[in-house]
Amino acid sequence: MGPGTGITENGLRRLLNEWDPIGVADAVRDEYDCMLAPLLQRLRHGADQAEIGEFLRHELEDHFGLAPLPSEPEGMAARLMSWWTDAGRADGIDRVE
């Protein structure tokens, strides 16, 4: 299955729940689902790590009301970019669309 399928969405949900910036993923498994579609859209359209980090920072500050540490969104953005690249390789394609 290609990126953007249920498998990819589930993988992204797993990563966001592991990150768990507000500390509720053990109790609320879909807390970060509001970020799934926007993140997948950005990744599919070739967003770079800085763009993903900025989106995550904006969500933490404006949506969740947190003041993230400077490295939190950027570190998660790097992890998401690596995951996205690996998802494309696992599907046997060079570029994820």
Q: Is 16 exposed, middle or buried (0-12, 13-18, 19+ CB in 10 A)?
A: buried
Would residue 96 count as lying in a domain? no
**Domain CATH number, residue 63:** 1.10.340
Per-residue pLDDT of the chain (97 residues; tens, 9 = 90+): 344 466 789 999 999 999 999 899 999 999 999 999 999 999 999 999 999 999 999 999 999 998 878 779 999 999 999 999 988 765 554 444 4
Q: Which domain holds residue 76?
A: 5-90
Place of tokens 């770079």: 48
Domain membership flag for residue 35: yes
Residue 95 lies in a domain: no
Residue 97 placed within a domain: no
The model's pTM is 0.82
- Please tell me the distance from the alpha carbon of residue 14 to that of residue 6, in angstroms, as a whole number: 12
- 58 part of a folded domain: yes
